[in-house]
């Protein structure tokens, strides 16, 4: 196994998908250099995330998206005191409604999670004893869809290639309908899903498909693979088949 394959198996998308399949509750503690990000899970679903990266804070995210102004940010920051969260202050100032705050926190959590999808060298520990604190706004985020959005948003395709480039054939291993119910699929993604339902050669998926969308298709296939929705099927060895056909009655007696 080469270094790229090893990193692929340890990639954050693989770790998150594994936690989802095992319905783990606890915290994925991810370290990338001096950065520490905590992903809180409940029965495999992401319910919150925290980070010591200032760029991941709620206020910075809202400024970055143009939802609050720099002046709003500065005014709200001046009112922050122990026990008074930044988001609550924005609601008190009339800059966000309570419903908008829940949406904003959910977007903040997604950004923190997505920031880990392209990291090469990270360490990740699972701590089943660490839970989200009571004062956190806990969310029940659709983890498969979170993985889909995160993988599609990253520019990294090396992990997908490491996992799939030697694949001969792919096959769906759970009902297509259940996958569609979990994921918000585009029309082309649904077409791909149905095309591999009964098995299809990996190379054939990209036949007559525009080069401009092949990277997205590859990443979508990797989404399905890390979630365990599809599996690799090895084609039978033709030489072995031919040798079996050459067996005579005399060989069996």
pLDDT at 253 over 60: no
Q: What is the mean pLDDT of residues 192-205?
A: 92
Q: Which residues contact 127 (CB under 8 A, 6 or more apart)?
A: 26, 27, 29
Q: Which two tokens stand for residue 209?
A: 């498909």
Q: Which letter does DSSP use for residue 32 in this model?
A: E
Q: d(Cα 111, Cα 11) in Å, to the nearest integer?
A: 17
**Segment holding 180, helix H or strand E:** helix 176-182
pLDDT class of 160 with cuts at 50, 70, 90: very high
Q: Which of 20, 9, 16 is nearest to 38 (CA)?
A: 16
Taking the C-alpha atoms of residue 111 and residue 130, their distance in angstroms, rounded to an integer, is: 21
For the chain, give the mean pLDDT.
87
Q: pTM for the full model?
A: 0.81
Instruction: Classify burial at 20, counting beta carbons within 10 Å of its beta carbon; exposed 0-12, middle 13-18, buried 19 or more.
Output: buried
Q: In this predicted structure, what is the pLDDT of residue 208?
A: 87
Q: For 4-36, what is each residue's pLDDT tens digit? A: 444 444 688 999 999 999 999 999 999 878 889
208-222: average pLDDT = 95
In the predicted structure, residue 162 carries a pLDDT above the cut 70: yes
Sheet-wide strand order for 169-172: 200-201, 169-172, 230-233
* pLDDT of 219 above 80: yes
Question: What is the model's pLDDT at position 5?
Answer: 42
Q: Per residue in 81-102, pLDDT tens?
A: 988 899 999 999 999 999 999 9
pLDDT at residue 31 in the model: 87
pLDDT of residue 218: 97
Beta-carbon-side half-sphere exposure of residue 196 (alpha carbons within 13 Å): 29
């Amino acid at each position: 196994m080469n270094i790229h394959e090893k990193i692929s198996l340890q990639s954050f998308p693989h770790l998150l998908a594994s936690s989802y399949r095992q319905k783990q509750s606890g915290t994925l503690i991810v370290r990338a250099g001096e950065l520490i990000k905590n992903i809180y899970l409940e029965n495999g679903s992401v319910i919150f995330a925290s980070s010591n990266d200032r760029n991941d804070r709620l206020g910075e995210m809202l400024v970055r998206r143009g939802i609050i102004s720099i002046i709003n940010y500065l005014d709200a920051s001046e009112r922050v005191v122990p026990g008074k969260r930044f988001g609550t202050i924005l609601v008190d100032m009339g800059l966000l409604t309570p419903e908008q705050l829940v949406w904003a926190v959910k977007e903040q959590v997604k950004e923190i999670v997505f920031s880990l999808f392209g990291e090469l060298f990270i360490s990740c520990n699972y701590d089943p004893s660490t839970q989200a604190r009571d004062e956190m706004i806990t969310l029940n985020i659709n983890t498969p869809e979170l993985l889909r959005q995160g993988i599609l948003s990253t520019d990294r395709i090396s992990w997908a290639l490491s996992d799939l480039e030697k694949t001969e054939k792919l096959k769906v291993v759970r009902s297509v309908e259940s996958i569609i119910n979990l994921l918000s699929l585009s029309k082309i993604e649904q077409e791909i899903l149905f095309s591999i339902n009964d098995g299809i050669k990996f190379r054939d998926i990209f036949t007559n498909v525009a080069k401009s969308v092949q990277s997205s298709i590859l990443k979508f296939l990797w989404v399905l693979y890390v979630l365990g929705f599809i599996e690799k099927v090895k084609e039978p060895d033709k030489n072995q088949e031919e040798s079996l056909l050459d067996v005579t009655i005399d060989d069996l007696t």
